[in-house]
Structure 1
Amino acid sequence: MKRVVILLILLCGFGISAQSNDELVRHFEAYYKQMQKQGDVQGIINGLTHLNVLAPSLERVDTLAYVYMLEGQYVQALNTIGIDRKMDDSDVALEVKAKSLKAVKQPARAIEFYEEIFKRNPSAHLAFELAELNLQTQNLTEADKHIAYGLANVKDDMRKAFYETQQPYEVSLKSAFMYLKALSLYNKDRKANIDGTLDILDATLKESPNFNLIQLTKNELLRQKQMLQSQQAEEDKK
């Protein structure tokens, strides 16, 4: 009899626990929806975090990581979703991993996720990301491949934003690809290819006069060219 009573108490406890968990899930689902209505990002993060503890799902994990990414909290996004590549990664998961790894200065790891995104849905904008990342890792062959794809598929209305000035600005995506093409040429031979690189930059600057980054790069290359010429003149005197 005593054992029966104990068993009944345990079963009742489990029932109450299950009921409480369901109530909590409903509470935080309502809380999450309300935070969405109010545009309260921290509230959205809190609601999703509680739901992932109470009733975890891949969709909620992806959504939480995506919200972190949009808020510029890239480490938190990666901690939420992980950095391993999985066969069942959703499009959202791939985007979070790619952009967050790029943001935390892990270009080599970001490339593999951008490549998977590109396989699923190739575009000129993704080709730019891959070209830029491959330039950072000095994989010029891959960079050139994506630059060629981008120039072949870019549309006149496609734009690319740059942020090196206090006031962000946009140029045509084609001009952005030409800038990467110039950088790739320069990196193949930083002495012999200065003039060729300057030619590409000058042509691009005519198309996009507001492309401040090209002007900065051009000024630096002219400085390097002048220094090399001075060194050569000194050697000729000897």
Structure 2
Amino acid sequence: MKRIMMLAALAMVFQIGAQSNTELIKHFEAYNKQMRAQGDVQGMINAMTHLNILVPSEARKDTLAYIYMSEGQYMQALNTIGIDPKVDDSDIALEVKAMSLKAVKQPERALVHFNEMFKRNPSPALAYELAELNLQLQKLDEALTHINYGLANATPEMKHAYYEQQQPYQVELKSAFMYLKALQLFQKDRKNNIDAAVDILDDTLKASPNFNLVNLTKNEILRQKQMMQAQEAQPKQ
């Protein structure tokens, strides 16, 4: 009899716990819905974190990480879903890992995820990211492959934003690829490819006169050319 009473008491505890858990899930689902309606991002993060503890879900975890990334909280995004590539990574998870790793200055690791994104859904925008990362890592042949893809597939309505000025600005994505092509050429041979790189930069400015970064880069390349010429002109000891 005593044993039966103990089992009955345990069953009641589990039932109360299940009811309590269900009520909590309903509460945080309603809370999340209200936070979305109010545009309260931190509230959405709190609600989804609680829901993910109560009812773990890869899709919800990916969405939570995406919200962190969108708010510029890159380490929180990576802590939520990790940094390692997984065969079953969703498209959202791939984007979060790629963009967040790039933002925290981990280009080699970011490149892995960008490559996978490009395999799944190739696009000029992704080709630009890959070209830029490969240039950073001095993988010049790989960079050129993506630059050529971008030049062949970018359309006039596609744009790329730059932020080196106080006021951000956009240029045609094709102009952005032309800029990267000049950089790739210059990095391949910093002594003999200067004039060819400057010619590409001049063509880029004709296509996009507001491309301030091209002017800055061109001036720096010409400055380096002057320095080399001055060194070569010095009499040998």
Regarding TM over 0.5, the answer is yes
The residue aligned with 2:156 is 156
In structure 2, the gaps of 5 or more residues are none
The residue aligned with 2:140 is 140
Q: Distance in 2 between matches of 1:157 and 1:12?
A: 64
The residue aligned with 1:35 is 35
Identity of aligned residues (%): 68
Q: Distance in 1 between matches of 2:50 and 2:166?
A: 39
Q: Distance in 2 between matches of 1:203 and 1:120?
A: 33
Alignment of 1:103-182 (within 5 A): 103-182=103-182
Q: Distance in 1 between matches of 2:60 and 2:137?
A: 33
After superposition, the C-alpha distances for 1:149-178 in whole angstroms (9 at most, x for unaligned) are: 000101011111000010000011111000
Q: Which amino acid aligns with 1:195?
A: D
Q: Distance in 2 between matches of 1:85 and 1:19?
A: 38
In structure 1, the gaps of 5 or more residues are none
Alignment of 1:1-238 (within 5 A): 1-235=1-235, 238=237
Q: Which amino acid aligns with 2:228?
A: L
The ranges of structure 1 where at least 4 consecutive aligned residues each deviate by more than 4 angstroms after the TM superposition are none
Q: Distance in 2 between matches of 1:214 and 1:44?
A: 41
TM-score by length of 2: 0.98
After superposition, the C-alpha distances for 1:4-26 in whole angstroms (9 at most, x for unaligned) are: 21111111111111110011001
Q: Distance in 1 between matches of 2:50 and 2:153?
A: 44
After superposition, the C-alpha distances for 1:14-49 in whole angstroms (9 at most, x for unaligned) are: 111111001100100000001001100000000000
Q: Distance in 1 between matches of 2:134 and 2:218?
A: 21
Secondary structure at the counterpart of residue 105 of structure 1: coil
Q: Distance in 1 between matches of 2:4 and 2:117?
A: 58
- How far has the Cα of 1:191 moved from its partner? 1.4
Q: Which amino acid aligns with 1:160?
A: H
Secondary structure at the counterpart of residue 234 of structure 2: helix
Q: Distance in 1 between matches of 2:216 and 2:124?
A: 25
Q: Which amino acid aligns with 2:234?
A: E
Root-mean-square deviation (CA, aligned residues, Å) is 0.9
Q: Which amino acid aligns with 1:115?
A: N
Aligned residue pairs: how many?
237
Q: Distance in 2 between matches of 1:34 and 1:211?
A: 43
Secondary structure at the counterpart of residue 132 of structure 2: helix
Q: Distance in 2 between matches of 1:230 and 1:86?
A: 53
Q: Which amino acid aligns with 2:178?
A: M
- How far has the Cα of 1:235 moved from its partner? 3.5
Q: Which amino acid aligns with 1:230?
A: A
Q: Distance in 1 between matches of 2:28 and 2:109?
A: 35
TM-score by length of 1: 0.97
Q: Which amino acid aligns with 1:196?
A: A
